Structure 1
């Protein structure tokens, strides 16, 4: 709805400025300026799922009844995922793992182990291509559907949750999701662990302003993640934060 309203506003302004230019001595420069501003605006809102601009995404729930946060892991399954699962077991914590379809094919036993230990899984597309923002809606739908197919074949689950690679949501992704029917999960705590070397910097970014209902994004394909996770869970316990799965945090269904 917001997307449609913004398009109507920009279109109306463009038509108005065009008419002013044709029918009066109004200068031409506002027209290209408006186009540039629109392009910049669309780029910004397309690269951050938290804006909820094209689709509704669940990013946090400050009204949750418990003093709790949720953990999410992207880009697995990975050999590293097993260490993460052991640490989560140690602290009796549950999480969501947004899995890449081709990695599920490569590591089916780890995918099944995630499910066996009481965690939930979500769709992170089949290939996690860096060209995600340039794919057609048809191709995006194929990426989502193929990941669903593999997850169902390997783990017997029909995933309802979807997290877009790199947080990219644009009109083409929106059209694909309208057809697939997935529920979009974002985040509101992103420590950039995939590009930051220092574990302490990552932990500080997570814990500095952590609040009830926050959803933390981490990556289980990074060697430093298990150590970061264990330190984080100790801090969360000290601060009396419980850990809940995102489906419970947002009261939504993980599977269809």
Structure 2
């Protein structure tokens, strides 16, 4: 079912309710329940990039020919990113870093270091605002384009990949992405490391049902990420998993 069809069905429901009311019938509870169901449905669809409802997102590739997983990091660059880069170097692992524009401005040298060491960078908007789900299309477009401009200025790259903050994809984000042409990269392994204090719990969430073609989401702005990453890379080696860059996992281009 497409979003357009959902809107049409909801409009028919509202019109039917108005006509019934005009004829002296007020279907109160059915209409209220339908409105609540519509709101819940939109919340679920908008906050789950893996559902590929509003846009196609690259979340996992179980058909990848090798026993491999991909690593990705959000919300940098920050000083802690350098530790992440050193750990990745020790294990000869490459990853994707989805960077916030204002943090690129603050740490341009770290942003360039990510690229220099053979990792890829992607767009994570300029400000990573918590109001992402409520922004109009024009503001979302500006958030994406402004991040692109900073990345091109500081890293000399034209980013093709976009990861929405908090995984929020709604019709307004969809319209903005149609104009920018970015490809959306989601994830299918999310350990909630940004809100969980225990490294052990985070590591268990990642490794419990890990399978080939998985795309793991971590955050390089969290102090505990280095510890988690090193332990994860050891476990991957023990289980004979390779790590590949996300663009290789999906055979797509990171840059235009």
> Would you say same fold, with TM above 0.5?
yes
In 1, Cα distance between the equivalents of 2:23 and 2:65? 60
1:110 maps to: 110
Q: Which 4+ residue blocks in structure 1 deviate beyond 4 angstroms? A: 16-26
What TM-score, normalized by structure 2, do the two folds share?
0.95
- Distance (whole Å) between structure 2 residues aligned to residue 5 and residue 243 of structure 1: 40
Root mean square deviation, CA, Å: 1.5
The TM-score normalised by the length of structure 1 is: 0.95
TM-superposed deviation, 1:17: 5.0
Post-superposition CA distance 1:126-183 (Å, at most 9, x none) = 0111111111110010000000000000000000000011111111111111111100
Cα deviation for residue 100 of structure 1 reads 0.4
Bigger mean CA deviation after superposition, 16-25 or 99-108: 16-25
Q: Distance in 2 between matches of 1:91 and 1:214?
A: 18
| Contact 1:17–1:30, Cα closer than 8 Å, also in 2 | no
Contact 2:17 2:27 (C-alpha < 8 Å) held by counterparts: no
Structure 2 equivalent of residue 179 of structure 1:
179
**CA drift at 1:15:** 3.8
| d(CA) in 1 for partners of 2:166, 2:94 | 23
Task: Work out the CA distance in 2 between the residues paired with 1:27 and 1:108.
Answer: 59
Q: Note the C-alpha offset of 1:50.
A: 1.2
Q: How many residues are aligned here?
A: 256
Partner of 1:43: 43
Secondary structure of 2:147's match?
A: helix
Q: Structure 1, unaligned stretches of length 5 or more?
A: none
Q: Distance in 2 between matches of 1:148 and 1:74?
A: 16
Paired position in structure 1 for 2:123: 123
Work out whether 1:3 is the aligned partner of 2:3: yes
CA distance in 2, matches of 1:199, 1:86: 19
